[in-house]
Chain A
Amino acid sequence: MASLSNNAMTEVPVEKQGGLPQLDFSTYEEQLVWLFLSFIVLFVVVWRFALPKIASVLEEREERIAEDLDRAECVKADAETVRATCEAAAAQARRSAQETILKVKEAAAADLAKETAALDAKLAKQASDAEAKIAAVKAEALGSVDTVATEVATDIVARLSGVGANDADVAKAVKAVAEGA
């Protein structure tokens, strides 16, 4: 550009020696002409070609992003329902398992109670049998005590008095003593 300005024809060299070139009115006309020419060309290019293209790309991208977001949200909703059903199934399974456990527990408890009762009955029976046996033995023993006492008493009486005592009397006496004691 420097060489250009040096070699270029200098129309009004004297005028350009002093002052701001900006105030050289002789250049205004051609500056304005070229400014409007170039500006209009640029405006048409921008307006007709550049901006519609940029706008369409931006719009497309925005739509695409919105679409993708929508799809992501859809998928998310699906995932959430899947999770809900999973959780419901898990809860169901847990509940039924608990029920089963409860049932088994109850059954076991019932069995245990029955067996305990049976054992109790058996033990009670054995105890009462044993008691009856003891009672019988005791009664027998008591019975034989009377006989032994009568015999002993008769014997003692016979030995002391030399008189044979009547068995029946002795027995009566023994009985009286035993009852009195």
Chain B
Amino acid sequence: MSYDKNDDLATLDDRLKKARSVSQDGTNAGSGGTDNAPPSAAGRAWKMGIELVIAVVLGLVLGKAIDDWLGTTPAALLVGLMIGFIAGIRNVIRQANAMQKAIEEEQSKDN
């Protein structure tokens, strides 16, 4: 008797399901694991440093502008410097947290 075609139908079913999931993934995956070029430690540190410097310089420049405008030299400049420094540190911490999170996610993905 040739009713052992059972297997053929079962494999067809599997293949259909696989094809469906692939075609559904295809619509929303796109980037999946494409960003798999982790920046080097030095690159990260450099990035953070730049982040900090930019915030400090921006605070300085804005403070200076306010000083020039209101004639409050050097009060606004000092305040701007301080705020810039805190904002820079905050940016760095935020970035470090994001990196930590990314690393943890990576590890949980591996495990």
Stretch with Cβ within 8 A of B (4 or more), from A23-31, A73-81, A124-132: A73-81
Convert A75-94 into 0s and 1s, putting 1 for each residue whose CB lies closer than 8 angstroms to a CB of B.
01001100100110010000
Stretch with Cβ within 8 A of A (4 or more), from B12-20, B90-98, B103-111: B12-20
Q: Are B16 and A73 in contact (CB under 8 A)?
A: yes
Closest-CB distance, A33 to chain B (whole angstroms)? 26
* SS class, residues of chain B in contact with chain A: helix
Residue in B9, B23, B26, B27 whose beta carbon sits within 8 Å of that of A76 in the complex = B9
Residue in A62, A69, A79 whose beta carbon sits within 8 Å of that of B26 in the complex = A62
User: Is residue A72 contacting chain B, with contact meaning CB distance below 8 A?
Assistant: yes
Taking CB atoms, residues of chain B closer than 8 Å to A113 are none
Q: Are A79 and B9 in contact (CB under 8 A)?
A: yes
Q: Are A69 and B16 in contact (CB under 8 A)?
A: yes
Q: Please report the C-alpha to C-alpha distance between residue A153 and residue B13 in the assembled complex, in whole angstroms.
A: 113
Taking CB atoms, residues of chain B closer than 8 Å to A72 are 12, 16, 19
Q: Please report the C-alpha to C-alpha distance between residue A13 and residue B52 in the assembled complex, in whole angstroms.
A: 36
Q: Are A62 and B3 in contact (CB under 8 A)?
A: no
The interface on chain A, measured as residues whose beta carbon lies within 8 A of the other chain's beta carbons, has a size of 13
Closest-CB distance, A22 to chain B (whole angstroms)? 16
Residues of B whose CB lies within 8 Å of any CB of A are 1, 3, 5-6, 9, 12-13, 16, 19-20, 23, 26-27
Residues of A whose CB lies within 8 Å of any CB of B are 62, 65-66, 69, 72-73, 76, 79-80, 83, 86-87, 90
Sample (12) of A-B pairs whose CB atoms are under 8 Å apart: A62-B23, A62-B27, A66-B23, A69-B16, A72-B12, A72-B16, A72-B19, A76-B12, A76-B16, A79-B12, A80-B9, A83-B3
